[in-house]
Structure 1
Amino acid sequence: MNSKKLAVILPGTGYNKDKPLLYYAQTIAIKKEYEIVNVDYDKFFVGVNYRNPDEMNAVADKAYEYAAERLDSINYREYDKVVFIGKSFGTIVGARYTTEHNMAPTQIWYTPVMDAYEKAVGHIVAFMGDKDPIADVDAARKKAKEKGIPLHVYPDANHSLATGDALVDIDTLRDVMTITNEIL
């Protein structure tokens, strides 16, 4: 396909491209004739103790290096529009990569990790739940406001934007994908 639009899919750890947020974002992008690049670094996190910061940082660096090598093979100048779509850890990968490579693409962040805000560049829209156990919602709101990032916060939603109520979750997913569709 000779598309002039590129969507780079950057999953979270344990949240791959086949899970709802990334699956439907990718489906929308394909319908809009984006070329899709999926970066899968989940293998680096198998057996990792997520509560051990040293272990997590070492593994995160390896995963980032792997992702950067894959992303370095892309000639971004061939595209009229580049969008990085990240989930959780993927938001850090996207933010770090675009900063280190002097890029300012559109970025869509699903349940971003706080470290992503430190390297935020380009047009970014973020989504998170107010019951996300790994996020500080107030700090995220503050940082998003400082950086000019629209942040959509969903009540009672966790790190997967799920509440446990299927109908509420479907409405949330519809809202997130409607905004994603507008961005793409």
Structure 2
Amino acid sequence: MKGTKKEMHINDKVIHYTHIEKGSSRVCFMFSGSGYNYDKPLFYYATMLMLENKIDVVHIHYSYDEQVMNKPIEEVTKVMMDDINPVMNEVLKNGRYSNSMFLGKSLGTIPIANDVMKREEFLQSKMIVLTPLLTFESIFDSILHSSHEGLLVIGDNDHHYNANQMDQLYKTNLTIDVVKNANHSLNVGEYETKNSIEAIANIIEKLKEVVRKN
């Protein structure tokens, strides 16, 4: 699943991204978690699934220090979008993609909920939010009030999981998957290897259903 590693120079900053191109008219932008990068199982298999379904993939490589992460969520959103927007503009500029979707995990759900979901040009895009940071009101509200189709996955042992919030989110157009006994990494139990692998397989299966629906 080798893609082309690319970089953009914006002012004094270098933004790195990987573009896996198969000549498709559809593209999926992926936004990693802070410690959960694109080599980790969910991203690895989500990427494989996209390619299997003839969807190009863009991995945006960012990392932020503690100082940034401790800022208010609005500022974190802005810092992240300053890295993400130039890449999105570059990838979408020649109009070869008629359809885009977005997949983020944890930290990577911030730009989706607080920015991308609210943009006119992406109203028809599917949104996949894995372990969204629902303890932030802006993220919960944005997902709750969006009309996007897509997928939301969270474990009921995740510190961002809240049963009352989930009851409300079931009313959205997103497919909701609550993984029993799974934590913020979507690992099941403490060291339940087989159950954790099965959980990933089930999530990828749900993702497949979302991706295949046009």
Partner residue of 1:14 out of 32, 35, 49? 35
Deviations 1:28-68 (A, max 9, x none): 111222111111222xx223485x454x6534421222112
3-state SS, counterpart of residue 147 of structure 1: coil
Across the aligned residues of Structure 1 and Structure 2, the Cα RMSD in angstroms comes to 2.2
2:85 is the counterpart of 1:68: yes
Residues 49/61 of structure 1: CA separation in 2 closer, same or farther (3 Å cut): closer
Partner of 1:4: 25
**Is residue 2:56 matched to residue 1:31?**
no
Structure 2 SS opposite 1:26: helix
Give the equivalent residue in structure 1 for 2:200. 173
* 1:70 aligned counterpart, secondary structure: helix
Q: Name the structure with the higher strand share.
A: 2
Tell me, yes or no, if structure 1 residue 91 matches structure 2 residue 109. Answer: yes
Gaps of 5+ in 1: none
The percentage of aligned residue pairs carrying the same residue is: 22
Alpha-carbon offset, residue 87 of structure 1 = 0.6
Q: Displacement of 1:179 after TM fit?
A: 1.1
2:19 match: none
Range with greater deviation from structure 2 (149-158 or 116-125): 116-125
Uncovered stretches (5+) of structure 2, i.e. residues with no partner: 1-21
Total equivalences in the alignment: 179
User: How far did 1:160 drift?
Assistant: 1.0
Distance in 1 (alpha carbons) for counterparts of 2:68 and 2:122: 32
Quote the offset at 1:153 in angstroms.
Answer: 0.6
| TM-score normalized with structure 1 length | 0.85
Local SS of the residue matching 2:54: coil
Within 5 Å, which residues of 2 pair with 1:48-127?
Answer: 48=67, 52-54=70-72, 57-75=74-92, 77-95=95-113, 96-104=115-123, 105-114=125-134, 115-119=138-142, 120-127=146-153
Please state how far the C-alpha of 1:92 moved relative to its aligned partner: 2.2
Conservation of the 8 A alpha-carbon contact between 2:129 and 2:151: yes
Tell me by how many angstroms 1:171 deviates: 0.9
- 2:177 pairs, out of 152, 156, 171, with 152
Higher relative contact order (CA 8 A, sep 6+): 1
Q: Against the structure 1 CA distance between its residues 92 and 139, is the aligned structure 2 distance closer, same or farther, given a 3 Å change threshold?
A: farther
For 2:139 and 2:66, locate their aligned partners in 1 and report how far apart those are by CA, in whole Å: 24
Displaced runs of 4 or more, over 3 A: 47-50, 56-60
The alpha-carbon distance between structure 1 residues 101 and 16, as it changes in their structure 2 partners (threshold 3 A), is farther
Comparing both structures, which one devotes a greater share of its residues to helix?
Answer: 1
Higher Rg of the two aligned structures: 2
